[in-house]
Amino acid sequence: MAAVTATSNTTTTTARAVGAGSPTADLAPLQIERRALGASDVRIDIKFCGICHSDIHFARGEWGEIPYPAVPGHEIAGVVAAVGSDVTGFAVGDRVGVGCMVNSCRECENCQAGNEQYCIAGNTQTYGSVDRDGTFTYGGYSDHVVVDQDFVLRIPDEIPLEEAAPLLCAGITTYSPLRHWNAGPGKQVAVVGLGGLGHMAVKFAHALGAEVTVLSQSLRKQEDGLRLGADHYYATSDDATFTALAHRFDLIINTVSAVIDMGAMLSLVKTDGALVNVGAPSEPLPVPVFPLLMQRRTFAGSGIGSIRETQEMLEFCAEHGIAADIEVISADQVNEAWERVLASDVRYRFVIDNSTLTA
Amino acid sequence: MAAVTATSNTTTTTARAVGAGSPTADLAPLQIERRALGASDVRIDIKFCGICHSDIHFARGEWGEIPYPAVPGHEIAGVVAAVGSDVTGFAVGDRVGVGCMVNSCRECENCQAGNEQYCIAGNTQTYGSVDRDGTFTYGGYSDHVVVDQDFVLRIPDEIPLEEAAPLLCAGITTYSPLRHWNAGPGKQVAVVGLGGLGHMAVKFAHALGAEVTVLSQSLRKQEDGLRLGADHYYATSDDATFTALAHRFDLIINTVSAVIDMGAMLSLVKTDGALVNVGAPSEPLPVPVFPLLMQRRTFAGSGIGSIRETQEMLEFCAEHGIAADIEVISADQVNEAWERVLASDVRYRFVIDNSTLTA
């Protein structure tokens, strides 16, 4: 990292990164500028960064036009390299993480209530946002990042940094709805899709004490699912699944971003139960209303979690020996990894070893 | 009524009715048989029956094939004409009502919990169902009906029977979700559509203490809406409505059975708020997932209410001076009334004067 030792708060720093120059370009090494260390900023030497499906949607412009180069990555784990003069909670050498957001308006009712993930003005995303100082945000596929202390998480010593990285998105995105909808002892919880998010949802739901069922397209990953903590594993390609599990679940966490048969899935939800999407399909989902009406079911969505809840999740992981199942890659393998993500060929999260960045 | 004085519990009774002989036929006078009075049955001399949009969907076979003749009507208000030997809660002359259901399995967890409207085996609908004794159910477009005492409601003396009839469907269908989702002081509640259900939703939400906004296609019924208890009235045909009311509502009750712009409507819901359908469109609603994810919003459905809650609603109406706004018609005006229902030309519920039945 070129300028990790800089202490002036007026000097930007140059970061090695890997990013996309256009919606269709392969990722390639490049350099980006990080803002000068502000009084409340923490400069983080990034050790590992998880690869999320969102990174691909974003960089390829599938969620809207973006400026290039695009440097994604919002599952950041590293070590504090420098702190601004007003930073009190972090010191050089601390093990820290950054998730999907790096700022918010701090004034709306949600920010005031500590739910900055639902900032009404829109939170500042770790990549692809304009931050409050006017700078454009670049993600964690890079060697360092500068983030306001209020959006930095502490990674407990029990969790290896590379296994902690995916907790910052895949982890909190599944932990938060499981907590909000009260997954726990006596509750029947299903997880649709056993990918990066799904495998974390299974671990959390199990650790929270719920009876856990995986609903996957096939039984291909059944052994994994049971090992991760599922009590049952069913294939959604088999119509008998929907007969066997009718009216079974208090809560279904749907991690799949594709369009699914919502009527069939809702039929598995109990009266007053919820089907909660954490996957974000780009097309609207066709939702038949009768299955909602007839059992007062709800269809909801949930996005990441607050900083407070993310810290709680990390402590929960430390306490329960939970982390992500990962495959560590070098920076020059990112394009290949993206192809494998698109093919659902990863168990269960790629994590970039950021020491291999070469730009 | 031909046989209202019969007391034998082995004799069926012949009822005058009006019904449809086919999906395309006009309604016409006809006779149907009611089952013999069972030990726990109440025979009700029907004085008034409300006309619900569901009646039309049902009789025209739009919700699936049905046997004919079809005799709809599930907003029944009348007087007890006879009671079976085990009936303890009702006596001849009592003012009573019957809503959308006349039986349920009584064994499932929902029935056991007093939520028989969500009977897992499916409750027995007032018309178009096969009852537990194997007889086919006919609705309230007739001069009398025989119903198990557990599904008969007591109509408080304060409420005229003709104004009480629509409470049994339009009333409870809106009261139940308002209560379940905690409409009350400090809450912002919107009602989409100002028809039979919508006008009751406005009255209830206002009486419960919420700040009430009507969202209607146009401002045509604005004066009515404000008179009924709304604090605000907006046209959904005006794009400015969606800017002005962004993120406003804790709860939106959607009474519209047509497909609406769900993304636009969800944008009006607060974080953790709910959009609840009581309208039942026959086509799936296209629901964009991002508006759910970004503010942890829920889209839900709610169907009628339990018998216990329906009785509570009737008492609430008596206490707050609430009833339906109605237009009383004679039985020979039913076909015309249906056309006006389809054209949304009713303020706000047609009620048949069942003394005019001629079959």
Spell out the residues 6+ positions from residue A282 whose beta carbon is closer than 8 angstroms to its own: A57, A62, A63, A257
Tokens of B218: 């146009």
Q: What is the mean pLDDT of residues A199-227?
A: 98
- Cis check for the bond before B69: say yes or no (omega within 30 of 0): yes
Q: Residue A305, CB half-sphere, CA atoms under 13 Å: how many?
A: 24
Is residue A6's pLDDT more than 50?
A: no
Greatest alpha-carbon pair distance for chain B in Å reads: 65
What structural domains does chain A harbor? 13-169+306-356 (3.90.180.10), 172-301 (3.40.50.720)
Chain B residues whose beta carbon lies within 8 Å of the beta carbon of residue A296: 118, 180, 300-303
- CA–CA gap between residue A132 and residue B223 (Å, rounded): 45
Of B286, B291, B299, the CB nearest to A286: B286
Spell out the residues 6+ positions from residue A295 whose beta carbon is closer than 8 angstroms to its own: A247, A269, A270, A271, A272, A273, B118, B303
Q: What is the mean pLDDT of residues A323-330?
A: 98
Q: What is the pLDDT of residue A340?
A: 97
Between B79 and B8, the higher pLDDT residue: B79
Phi, psi of B315, deg, nearest 5: -65, -40
If you compute the radius of gyration of chain A from its CA atoms, what whole number of angstroms results?
20
H-helix or E-strand containing B17? Answer: strand B13-20
Distance from CA of B167 to the nearest CA of A (A): 18
Of A110, A285, A295, the CB nearest to B289: A285
Is residue A134's pLDDT more than 90?
A: no
Note whether A296 contacts B279, CB cutoff 8 Å: no
Note whether A286 contacts B284, CB cutoff 8 Å: yes
* The residue type at B310: T
**Closest alpha carbon within chain A to B256:** A289
| Residue A351 contacts residue A50 (beta carbons within 8 Å) | yes
> What pLDDT, in 10s, does the model give residues B94-130?
999 999 999 999 999 999 999 999 999 999 999 999 9
Q: What is the pLDDT of residue A359?
A: 73
Is pTM beyond 0.90? Reply is yes
- Cis check for the bond before B348: say yes or no (omega within 30 of 0): yes
Q: What is the pLDDT of residue A9?
A: 60
* Antiparallel, parallel or unpaired: β A153-154 and A188-192: unpaired
Is residue B19's pLDDT more than 90?
A: yes
pLDDT band with cut points at 50, 70 and 90 for residue B131:
confident
- CA–CA gap between residue B217 and residue B229 (Å, rounded): 18
> What pLDDT, in 10s, does the model give residues A31-86?
999 999 999 999 999 999 999 999 999 999 988 899 999 999 999 999 999 999 99
ipTM of the complex: 0.94
Q: What is the mean pLDDT of residues B192-216?
A: 97
- CA–CA gap between residue A170 and residue B258 (Å, rounded): 37
pLDDT band with cut points at 50, 70 and 90 for residue A276:
very high
* The residue type at A301: G
pLDDT band with cut points at 50, 70 and 90 for residue B1:
very low
Chain B residues whose beta carbon lies within 8 Å of the beta carbon of residue A120: 247, 271
- Burial tier of B303 (Cβ tally within 10 Å: 0-12, 13-18, 19+): buried
- CA–CA gap between residue A247 and residue B344 (Å, rounded): 36
Q: What is the pLDDT of residue B5?
A: 43
